[in-house]
Structure 1
Amino acid sequence: MAATIAQTLNDLIRTGADDATALSSPGGVPLTFAALRALTARTVADLNAHGTGRGARIAIVLPNGPDMAAAFIALAAGAVAAPLNPAYTAEEFTFYLRDLGATLLVAAEGDETPAVRVAERLGIAVVRLSPTPEQGAGSFTLRFPEGAAAPAPQGGPSAPGDLALVLHTSGTTSRPKIVPLSQANVCASARNIRNALAFTAQDRGLNIMPLFHIHGLIAGILAPLSAGGQVCCTPGFSALKFFGWMGEARPTWYTAVPTMHQAILGRAGRNAETIAANPLRLIRSSSSSLPPQVMAALEEAFGAPVIEAYGMTEAAHQMASNPLPPRPHCPGCVGLAAGPEIAVVGPDGEPLASGETGEIVIRGDNVMAGYENNPAANAEAFTRQGWFRTGDQGSLSPEGYLTITGRLKEIINRGGEKISPREVDEILMDHPAVAQCVTFAVPHDKLGEEVAAAIVLREGADASEAEIRAFAASRLAGFKVPAKVLLLDEIPQGATGKLQRIGLARKLGLG
């Protein structure tokens, strides 16, 4: 563990030994911590010389992999990183670049992403990144636009209170909100994950998460680096390539969202030799609920504990985590407070007794100070007692284990009866033919909302809508049984692989 508490990204990457590997990639040359530190210092100096310093916002549109990981660290160490999904359309890039107030866009040399055309139209300078993989995974040079620029007024490495990262909320029901996270926020979250999972310099992560998302950036990259460990950065998730990467990188752990775990599990049986030859210390799951059935199957296939955690962008990712063995990690719950304080409160904002269901609230040094330029959202998001309202509903056990019953906005109100979609999911996942399931609300002219479920069947399995409804009826009260069951080849996912309930009825033509 680090001897001092890192408050900035520059502090965080000082942890690893000079000759220890920080970043690697499948088939690539490793990048040492000494090289990562030198790359970061050189990048900050380049930015400063071209007029960009602390507080300036740099949009990053790069493919997943070591270049994106290193660029995020190096740029955020002396400015503000704003990673964007490379799959966005020109219209989406226009919104995000304007809303962020970006002054630079970093894109790969030769990449014809629509972000470049949009940036040029908006008068945002475009900086081109050229990988130099022979110097180590993630190593790069930057080419700035021609023309002289005054040196940055605020140069040098960022301070703890400076912003490191700005991201948008998903915006499934409204305009996305800007979440500004300070250097201290992201370092605190990395430290919380490192402590929860007992990372050391001997740990090797295999990152399959997208690096325009908080989960990948903090849990996938910064947390293991903060312990002096290494990360093998893949080009993005692929169930077909996962076990090949596993055999090459020999990871001790990986983190993913449930849909990724399920895809990996689908190929685990035919890769038993690779699993046995590369034993994992742990598997981490976060960003959406992991069905208990999937947790059990993963633990059986890999012979490793599956540690479910709870995170959100506004908390720089992690809020709670199940503990490592020998302490119990409980299927269907997201564990103990792992960094910030956690409480469950009633409508008056006062904490409820253990076992009672209410809204989950948090406060701590990883939590953002507030949404940017949005006093109305902040007035709603923070209680009088200084807690941040997560929008999730749940309860705490007497031992402090947190169980999430659902998003408050996702609770289905069927004629006054309140139904937690997660409860229905967990029942339907017990059906032997069901591989994936998402329960969601559909509009109803008399009840307001009715229960529906989108289901993907296991390969080779067969079940009808009537059979699945009958199975649900044998285990659930009548008002919770899905009135409609849709059997699909694939359930629509968000950009990070999460299954999204809000808006699903509309996407499926039911709203």
Structure 2
Amino acid sequence: MTASRTVLDLIIAGNAARPAMRAPERPPLTYAGLRALAERTVAALNGIGIGRGDRVAIVLPNGPEMAASFVAIAAGATTAPLNPAYKDEEFEFYLTDLKAKALVVLQGAETPARAVAQRLGVPVVELVPGAAAGEFTLSGGSPGKAAKPGLAEAEDVALVLHTSGTTARPKIVPLTHANVTASADNIARTLRLTAEDACLNVMPLFHIHGLIAATLSSLAGGGAVICTPGFNALRFFGLLDTERPSWYTAVPTMHQAILQRAERNREIIARAPLRFIRSSSASLPAQAMKDLVAAFGAPVIEAYGMTEASHQMCSNPLPPQAQKPGLVGLPAGPEVAIMDDDGTILPQGSIGEIVIRGPNVTKGYEANPEANAKAFTNGWFRTGDQGMFDKDGYLMLTGRLKELIKRGGEQVSPLEVDGVLSEHPAVAQALTFSIPHPMLGEEVGAAVVLREGMSCTERELRDHAAQHLADFKVPRKVVFLPEIPKGATGKLMRIGLAEKLGITA
């Protein structure tokens, strides 16, 4: 696959007559249609004074219009997709921080973003859906002259996203066309995507995973993305049956919700076989990977991604190469290495911080010299994750550096404890977290969701953990929950969980 330069180049490379975007009960939008839509959208934006480098905040529900507007607006301006569930003050922060030149909302849709934009003097542009999946026109804005009109170039910023900072103010990550298309190509190559493939997208499209792994990689492979209203475990198998995708990509919490319904949908799984299933954005417990393979009879490809890398860094390969449960695979895009605290690259088998460099990696956070000084060492971006390469060159994550539990003089990897707890037959989901402790600094806690119809005590789980883990790693407290708190993108919230659950030492 040739290195694509801009998002529009990806579309131009696709077969004009083939579907690029699909949605349930809508005619598909072809590559020719998407290309024409992008060119019309750029002209419309230029006509209201918005051009290359100008930021357009997009607040739309998940679906084909959101996917198509991301692609079409990026063709001539900078996209800033925002979570439609944000509250008034969150929209105020993001629209101000982004210095948005316009806000795109669905025609007639109620969203606090509208009032906030009006209050801040940001022009509101309405998106009017058309007949085909993703087809739209824009209305609103005042006539104006764009400083930099025309189609975007490779080094223009295509997308800005905020990092999901746990405590500090979120940082702006600018990603150029060269960054995002390099990543889309890497994913398409890893998954051997072709024009015959169609991805069922259940990921939110304000998140790097849905934007790049589902949408842009499908376009880079010349295939289609099937746009859904978002993740709904109850609707998933119906969509599988009617849409017949060749793959889907999701976060582990979504895969686990799908697994809970797989048994009663065996006929659909047999009728609508998948070529593979992809998992990313958080660690997939080894047991969940094995269960998915058993339920779907398809390989499960776990990948490792983050916003600053335009998503993909490593990926398990497709068969006949091995997929290793509990490992995030081989470098699949940027160079990946392990570094110690003082910037030395460590040999294979050593544990340290995972660092990356390559064409898909951001050049740095916007207007944040302090964060950039911490994040970059000798041209390598420090991911904040800890890990090691095994003898075959597969990467094993041992945890987020800031999530490691420091108990007395010992360090506990929450991922390791998650994995052991998940192997207990009664456990559907487990999340290990730190509990503040007056003497030890931190103590190990775990939140557990049991499988439907199964029971288990705290004592039994601690005994199970003690058979596989050193004593200091065994959770001192296990809480049983109907579900574990999740963030907006479906990630489990490890940091601050003790506080949220009201657990003290």
> TM class by shorter-chain length?
over 0.9
Name which of 92, 96, 118 aligns with 1:98. Answer: 96
Tell whether 2:156 aligns with 1:162.
Answer: yes
Name which of 379, 383, 386 aligns with 1:393. Answer: 386
What residue in structure 2 maps to residue 319 of structure 1? Answer: 313
Q: By how many angstroms is 1:173 displaced?
A: 2.3
What residue in structure 2 maps to residue 194 of structure 1? Answer: 188
User: SS where residue 242 of structure 2 aligns?
Assistant: helix
Tell whether 2:133 aligns with 1:137.
Answer: yes
Unpaired runs of 5+ residues, structure 1, are: none
What residue in structure 2 maps to residue 210 of structure 1? Answer: 204
Percent same amino acid at aligned positions?
63
1:362-401 to structure 2, matched below 5 A, reads 362-383=356-377, 385-401=378-394
Q: Is the 8 A contact 1:405 1:420 kept in 2?
A: yes
Which whole-Å CA distance do the structure 1 matches of 2:409 and 2:56 have between them?
47
Q: Is the 8 A contact 1:15 1:227 kept in 2?
A: no
Tell whether 2:346 aligns with 1:352.
Answer: yes
What residue in structure 2 maps to residue 300 of structure 1? Answer: 294
Q: By how many angstroms is 1:474 displaced?
A: 2.2
Q: Deviations over 1:345-404 (max 9, x none)?
A: 112211111111000000000000000010000000000x21000000000123211100
What residue in structure 1 maps to residue 253 of structure 2? Answer: 259
1:23-62 to structure 2, matched below 5 A, reads 23-62=21-60
Which whole-Å CA distance do the structure 2 matches of 1:52 and 1:43 have between them?
11
Which whole-Å CA distance do the structure 1 matches of 2:394 and 2:465 have between them?
28
What residue in structure 1 maps to residue 284 of structure 2? Answer: 290
What residue in structure 2 maps to residue 66 of structure 1? Answer: 64
What residue in structure 1 maps to residue 267 of structure 2? Answer: 273
Q: By how many angstroms is 1:503 displaced?
A: 1.6
Which whole-Å CA distance do the structure 2 matches of 1:35 and 1:430 have between them?
48
TM-score (norm. length: structure 1):
0.98
Unpaired runs of 5+ residues, structure 2, are: none
Q: Deviations over 1:56-83 (max 9, x none)?
A: 0000000000000000000111000000
Q: Is the 8 A contact 1:209 1:215 kept in 2?
A: yes
What residue in structure 1 maps to residue 228 of structure 2? Answer: 234
Q: By how many angstroms is 1:456 displaced?
A: 0.6
Which whole-Å CA distance do the structure 2 matches of 1:264 and 1:349 have between them?
42
Q: Deviations over 1:400-424 (max 9, x none)?
A: 1110000000000001110000111
Structure 1 residue runs of 4 or more that deviate by more than 3 Å after TM superposition: none
User: SS where residue 175 of structure 2 aligns?
Assistant: strand
Q: By how many angstroms is 1:46 displaced?
A: 0.3
User: SS where residue 448 of structure 2 aligns?
Assistant: strand
TM-score (norm. length: structure 2):
0.99
Q: Deviations over 1:307-330 (max 9, x none)?
A: 000000000000000111111111
Which whole-Å CA distance do the structure 2 matches of 1:296 and 1:374 have between them?
42
Q: Is the 8 A contact 1:392 1:406 kept in 2?
A: yes
Which whole-Å CA distance do the structure 1 matches of 2:465 and 2:389 have between them?
27
Name which of 490, 496, 499 aligns with 1:497. Answer: 490
Q: Deviations over 1:234-271 (max 9, x none)?
A: 00001111111111111111100000001111111111
| One-letter amino acid of the counterpart of residue 465, structure 1 | E
User: SS where residue 153 of structure 1 aligns?
Assistant: coil
Which whole-Å CA distance do the structure 1 matches of 2:257 and 2:392 have between them?
33
Which whole-Å CA distance do the structure 2 matches of 1:229 and 1:249 have between them?
14
> RMSD over aligned Cα, in angstroms?
0.9
User: SS where residue 468 of structure 2 aligns?
Assistant: coil
Which whole-Å CA distance do the structure 2 matches of 1:164 and 1:239 have between them?
32
User: SS where residue 304 of structure 1 aligns?
Assistant: coil
What residue in structure 2 maps to residue 423 of structure 1? Answer: 416
Tell whether 2:396 aligns with 1:403.
Answer: yes
Name which of 109, 112, 115 aligns with 2:113. Answer: 115
Aligned length: 504
Which whole-Å CA distance do the structure 1 matches of 2:240 and 2:183 have between them?
26
Which whole-Å CA distance do the structure 1 matches of 2:290 and 2:3 have between them?
36
Which whole-Å CA distance do the structure 2 matches of 1:274 and 1:168 have between them?
38
Q: By how many angstroms is 1:144 displaced?
A: 1.4
| One-letter amino acid of the counterpart of residue 256, structure 1 | A
Which whole-Å CA distance do the structure 2 matches of 1:16 and 1:281 have between them?
21
Tell whether 2:461 aligns with 1:468.
Answer: yes
Q: Is the 8 A contact 1:173 1:502 kept in 2?
A: no
Q: By how many angstroms is 1:478 displaced?
A: 1.1
Tell whether 2:341 aligns with 1:343.
Answer: no
Q: By how many angstroms is 1:150 displaced?
A: 2.5
Which whole-Å CA distance do the structure 1 matches of 2:501 and 2:11 have between them?
45
| One-letter amino acid of the counterpart of residue 138, structure 1 | G
User: SS where residue 474 of structure 1 aligns?
Assistant: helix
Which whole-Å CA distance do the structure 1 matches of 2:167 and 2:251 have between them?
22
